[in-house]
Amino acid sequence: MIETILKYQFLQKAILASILTSIVAGIIGVIIVQKKLVMMTGGIAHTTYGGVGLGYLLGIEPILGGFMFALGAAFGIGYLKRKGGVDTDILIALFWSLGMAAGVAFIGLMPGYPPDITSYLFGNILSVTNFDLIMMAVLTVVVTLSTLIFLNDWKTYLFDEEFAYVRGMKTSFMEYWLLVLVALTVVVLIRAAGIMLVISMLTAPAASARQISKKFSVNIILAVVLGAVYCLVGLGLSYVLNIASGATIIAVSVFGFVLCVILSKILKNKKTVKN
């Protein structure tokens, strides 16, 4: 297997993409699970489909179009939620459907045969390009530094937003910045898991980590490690079995979560019996 990796450049790129993916998925996954923003993340993810379609229509990198739409959805949902008083579920549904509809419309406007966008919908980490890797690396650095530098502020904001506001923390800025980080993470994950499967990629490692530890900082480290394991195992299986990489990674992630739940139950039962 090592000889194969050294021989094929696309496998080397896929492994690097897996590592970058696991870092952002682990960090932001823990945050959105703690803050209960999983469905909002799904709304932002599906909105990026409109950007992918626009990218194809304009002849630019589709991921750049997705990046712009993801940021637009993050700010739009955040603004309307705070200023417009609109229910969050309604906003998610509207942005979700708008993004998908826009993507279909933009691709429909293209002359000739429509492009194959399967890799953007369901992920194909084996097909990442140099441009994808550069963009993923830059966004991973931004997400990681934004979390580590303000780690204590994030802890306060996530566990008690009212207390954070009383302490003078700009909670509105924290909320907007969190949505931006979610948007950046979605863009990183699209090439690995695809628009349709991003939610699972974000939640499975974080949820697995919560079965092991309840500490925020420990959860992030565990989620990153578990995310890397899920990605690399899924990547290896997809290559050996010649099946879709995105779906395989998600399947491995869900199986890993179920395994963590079972092991957690067994350990708790043992402790109960001893006591």
pLDDT at 195: 83
C-alpha span between 48 and 55 (Å, rounded): 10
User: pLDDT (tens digit, 9 = 90+) per residue, 93-146?
Assistant: 888 899 999 998 998 888 877 777 877 887 778 788 888 888 888 888 998 998
As a whole number of angstroms, the distance between CA 195 and CA 173 comes to 27
Q: Report domain extents, the chain.
A: 2-274
Query: Is the per-residue pLDDT at 177 higher than 70?
Result: yes
Yes or no: domain 2-274 corresponds to CATH 1.10.3470.10:
yes
> Residue 155 is encoded by which pair of tokens?
């802890």
What is the band of 258 on the pLDDT scale with cuts at 50, 70, 90?
very high
Q: How confident is the model at residue 2 (pLDDT cuts 50, 70, 90)?
A: low
| CA 245/CA 225 separation, integer angstroms | 19
pLDDT tens track for 220-256? 999 999 999 998 898 888 888 888 888 888 899 999 9
> Half-sphere exposure (CA, 13 Å, Cβ side) for 162?
0
Q: Which of 36-45, 107-116, 195-204, 245-254 has the least mean pLDDT?
A: 107-116
Query: Does 1 have pLDDT greater than 80?
Result: no
Single pTM value for the model: 0.85
For the segment 53-79, what is each residue's pLDDT rounded down to a tens digit? 999 898 888 888 988 999 998 888 888
